[in-house]
A = this chain, B = another copy of it.
Amino acid sequence: VINAEKSEFNEDQAACCQISIRRRELGLEEDEEWLILCFPQFLTGYYWALFDGHGGPEAAIIASNYLHYCIKQKLEEVVGGVTEARPPMHLSGRCVCDSDPQFVEEKHIHAEDLVVGALENAFQECDEVIGQEMEATNQRGGCTALAALYFQGKLYVANAGDSRAVLVLKDNVVPMSCEFTPETERQRIQHLAFLFPKLLDGEFTRFEFPRRLKGDDVGQKVLYRDYFMEGWGYKMVEKADLKYPLVHGHGKQARLLGTLAVSRGLGDHQLKVIDTNIEVKPFLSCIPKVNVFDFALHDIKEDDVLIMATDGLWDVLCNKEVAHTVRSFLAENRTDPHRFSELAKCLVCRARGKKRGHQWMLDDSHEASYDDISVFVIPLHNRDED
């Protein structure tokens, strides 16, 4: 993981560690406790995460210090159910109803769903911790969070923000996350403003228009979208429509309340729209979307890797370009024991570009990334299994 070093402060943070989850054998009678000795006392998970801070690096730093702990804690809370293919209805393992296993089966609940639930709860817990820490130290800001967990033969990728994780396999590129921005989450955000108009304090319009409207547009019918529309319609413009739009701009310029470029993440508890009393937090979500990749269903090859990176990389390189770089770099560097970290450096350097005069340019003479750039290259292949 390297940063681009073009801005004064680096707001990206990274973390990786092993997570040991203590098994609690609940539901054992005292004279059965010897059973514990038959099982390993810990389950092991492997964790990588990237946090892209905004409004200062503080939230990203706290998240990088706490999220793995929250995940450990949430996994330990459900560990009794995680070791079974079908988690029991009761964590104690005791059956209250004879048909309980049947109900669990009907709902298609698997051990994997407990890990997904634990990750969802861990992000929420971590968001609360950040809120408390920031309040206690009178700091501000927030961050996106992208976390990968390898646990019990499966890879879980939890994402809240605009970082991205992609599996680059021999014959296949598998996206493991999708981006949450004011643009991709427009309908959720507009719906909340429809349900609670007071959140906009009369300063914003919840409608989307192709551009910000002005006086000349009043009385005309212009293209618009409301919360329930994937399509577009025409709306007679009233004076209230001239207010600044709740979600505005396009692509990298899209902003929530004119303030934030992401719609999910951790922190931002104190964030208000400049010069107003309008809070941004109600429109943000700290809940990740979790994607699962089951290693048992795939034949993992030696050069197969998981690429995790902040938007600094993806703003200038698409999945296909990254996959191409990954494959050719690893093919050319078969023997280098540091080839995966060298590849990460190579990807960062490609996105950073080269300085030409005052500008940073890519090889193809497009403009390079001016954002912080962080990249993990995580090999998936287990040599011991060969």
The 8 A CB mask of A215-248 against B (1 = contact, 0 = none) is: 0110011110100111111100000000000000
Q: How far is the CA of A289 from the CA of B228 in the complex (A)?
A: 10
Name which of A77, A211, A217 has the most chain B CB atoms within 10 A of its CB.
A211
Interface residues of A in 267-308 (CB under 8 A from B): 285, 287, 289-290
Q: Which residues of B contact A74 (CB under 8 A)?
A: 233
Q: How far is the CB of A182 from chain B (nearest CB, A)?
A: 13
A interface residues, tally (CB under 8 Å): 54
A103 with B210, Cβ < 8 A, contacts A109-B223, A223-B109 known:
yes
> Closest chain B residue to A287 by CB distance?
B228
Which stretch in A92-100, A140-148, A319-327, A334-342 binds the other chain? Answer: A92-100
Q: Which of B92, B216, B229, B289 contacts A120 (CB 8 A)?
A: B229
Residue A115 interfacial (CB < 8 Å): yes
Q: A195-B195, A210-B109 in contact; A233/B90 too (CB < 8 A)?
A: no
Question: How many identical chains are in the complex?
Answer: 2
Q: Is A78 an interface residue (CB 8 A)?
A: yes
Q: Does A116 contact B (CB under 8 A)?
A: yes
User: Given A106-B250, A210-B100, A210-B109, are A91 and B231 neighbors across the interface (CB < 8 Å)?
Assistant: no
A117-B231 contact, Cβ under 8 Å, with A103-B210, A107-B250, A210-B109 = yes
Minimum distance in angstroms from A248 CB to a CB of chain B: 12
Contacts of A81 in B (CB 8 A): 223, 234
B residues in contact with A99, CB < 8 Å:
211
Query: Do the beta carbons of A231 and B115 come within 8 Å of each other?
Result: yes
Cβ-defined partner of A89 (8 Å) among B103, B119, B210, B231: B210
Tell me which of A216, A221, A232, A285 has the highest count of chain B C-beta atoms within 10 A of its own C-beta.
Answer: A232
Docked complex Cα distance between A230 and B90 (Å): 19
A374 to chain B, nearest CB (A): 27
Q: Which of B97, B220, B285, B289 contacts A211 (CB 8 A)?
A: B97
**In contact, B211 and A91 (Cβ under 8 angstroms):** no
How far is A115 from B290 in the complex, measured between Cα atoms in Å?
34
B91 and A232 contacting across the interface, CB-CB below 8 Å = no
CB neighbours of A119 from chain B (8 A) = 231
Residues A221 and B106 in contact in the complex (CB < 8 Å), given A77-B234, A113-B231, A290-B231: no
Closest beta carbon of chain B to A190's beta carbon, Å: 13
Q: List 20 A-B contacts (CB under 8 A).
A: A74-B233, A77-B234, A78-B233, A81-B223, A89-B223, A91-B220, A94-B220, A96-B214, A97-B211, A100-B211, A104-B210, A104-B223, A106-B250, A107-B210, A113-B231, A114-B233, A120-B231, A121-B229, A121-B233, A228-B287
Top 3 nearest A-B pairs (CB, nearest first) are A116-B231, A117-B231, A91-B221
Residues of A within 8 A of B (CB): 74, 77-78, 81, 87, 89-92, 94, 96-97, 99-100, 103-104, 106-107, 109, 112-121, 124, 195, 210-211, 214, 216-217, 220-223, 225, 228-234, 250-251, 285, 287, 289-290
